[in-house]
Amino acid sequence: MPRSAQHDQPLRVVQWATGTIGARSLRAVLDHPRMALVGVHVHSPGKAGRDAGELCGSGPTGVTTTHRLDDVLALGADCVLYMPRTADLDELCALLASGANVVATTGGFHHPAGLDPAVRSRVEAACKQGGTSLHDTGSSPGFITEAVPLVLASVQRRLENLTIHEHADLSRRDSPELLFDIMGFGRAPAAEFDEARLAHIRGGFGPSLRLVADALGLPMDSVEARGRFATAACTTDIAAGVLRAGTVAAQQMTLSGLCGGRTLLEFQATWYCTTDLDPAWELRPTGWHLTVDGDAPLDVDLRFPVPLERLAAVSPGYTAHRAVNAVHALCAAAPGIRTTVDLPPFTAVLG
């Protein structure tokens, strides 16, 4: 029996990248009763050569960080938790071909049928060579766009619509670069919603919706995106700085998956920096709200019961922990790109 299938032997795990999500994942691996950290890959040479514990607030681990791919390949790990901002196809294929399974949080592999055929072929060839699997997950997309909808659909025999609402109050998020430079808050409103932002949400969340629709036997005809914004009704101070009256203070992007001419699955993200908006919007606290219109209708709230000042410190766990908890299921899976639908429901091993 291979080591990955033996419950009495800890899986040998590498953490790849130690940013906000990666550092939380690293700590989770160190605390996991059935995992052994054997390596850490960092992108900055300045982080290389340090004890892994320094990067996540843990004590000494005896594991030294590296920024060399070859060092990781030589470890013979069972799994790599791959968490850079974007995926590097050469890195991914090298890891898979070496015999290491990969759980990624980078996006791009949620719906294999929709991948560029050349990319899919290359990844699957690497999996075949190494006898390994790749799974892409996270909190959103992933948990809330795949795992939860599939559970809610499991009590339906007729589904008219399933909508996922994501709300995020960013007023206490002390990240000026993220809010003002990247997300575009605090800017003068444009005539139309930024098409690049719509393309990003279409590419990031569309594959999840298509995966769920395919699993339900209701494949989508198309996925359409639209957006709108509201401005600050008055000048207000937020944690990231000053939000001027008349500048963008809330954004909403809606992704609709159409099947047979009607919206079957929908994902709507509403992010706001103040509740004093022009025009006024109906806003919910930070979290998720799901509605199911079917023969077993449902209305579900999943809220983050954390003060906004602490949310930035807590929220990385929603993504990192799901990836860590997926490792054992993935290591036991058949080689290839494995989705939420392919893997069995997995349980967190906490002690």
Please tell me the pTM assigned to this model.
0.94
What are the start-end ranges of the H helices in 193-339?
195-215, 308-314, 316-325, 327-331
Number of helices (H), then strands (E), belonging to the chain: the values are 10, 16
Distance (Å, rounded) from C-alpha 257 to C-alpha 255? 7
The two domains 3-137+326-337 and 140-309 share their CATH topology (first three levels equal):
no
Q: Where are the domains of the chain?
A: 3-137+326-337, 140-309
Length of the chain: 351
Decide which of 1.10.10.10, 3.40.50.2300, 1.10.3720.10, 3.40.50.720 is the CATH code for 3-137+326-337: 3.40.50.720
Distance (Å, rounded) from C-alpha 325 to C-alpha 146? 16
Q: What is the pLDDT, as a whole number, of residue 207? A: 98
Q: What is the pLDDT, as a whole number, of residue 7? A: 54
Q: How far is CA 275 from the centre of its chain?
A: 26
Among 49, 318, 137, CA closest to 40:
49
Instruction: Work out whether strand 241-243 and strand 248-259 pair parallel, antiparallel, or are unpaired.
Output: unpaired
Q: Which residues of 118-136 are buried (b: 16+ CB within 10 A; e: fewer)?
A: eebebbbebbeebebbbbb
What are the start-end ranges of the H helices in 48-178?
69-73, 89-97, 117-130, 148-153, 176
pLDDT digits (tens), the chain, 351 positions: 344 444 568 999 999 999 999 999 999 999 999 999 999 999 988 899 999 999 999 999 999 999 999 999 999 999 999 999 999 999 999 999 999 999 999 999 999 999 999 999 999 999 999 999 999 999 999 999 999 999 999 999 999 999 999 999 999 999 999 999 999 999 999 999 989 989 999 999 999 999 999 999 999 999 999 999 999 999 999 999 999 999 999 999 999 999 999 999 999 999 999 999 999 999 999 999 999 999 999 999 999 999 999 998 999 999 999 999 999 999 999 999 999 999 999 999 998
Domain 140-309 is found in CATH 1.10.1760? no
Q: Which residues of 275-301 are buried (b: 16+ CB within 10 A; e: fewer)?
A: ebbeeeeebbebbbbbebebeeeeeee
